[in-house]
Amino acid sequence: MDKPNRSGHPERRIETLRLIRAPHAAIMIATYQRLIDRKKGFLRNWGLKGLDDT
């Protein structure tokens, strides 16, 4: 059986994690949300485009 592709966007990962009922899902969701927020902040601070393409 093939391994799942883990290179997707964090937003898709968050949606997938919300559907499963694993004990670690809430921690992973919070981590991905922090990653997205930091990426948006970095792009905003450097005046780069792509705020909607995270």
SS3 for 4-33 is CCCCCCHHHHHHHHHHCCCCCHHHHHHHHH
Report the C-alpha gap between 49 and 3 in whole angstroms. Answer: 33
Look at the pTM and tell me if it is higher than 0.85.
Answer: no
- Please report the pLDDT score of residue 54 as a whole number: 47
- Please report the pLDDT score of residue 37 as a whole number: 94
Q: Tell me: the pLDDT tens digits for 1-49? A: 444 555 567 788 888 888 888 889 999 999 999 999 999 999 999 988 6
Report the C-alpha gap between 41 and 4 in whole angstroms. Answer: 29
- Please report the pLDDT score of residue 2 as a whole number: 44
Q: Is the pLDDT at 52 greater than 60, yes or no?
A: no
- Please report the pLDDT score of residue 1 as a whole number: 40
Phi/psi at 27 (nearest 5 deg)?
-65, -45
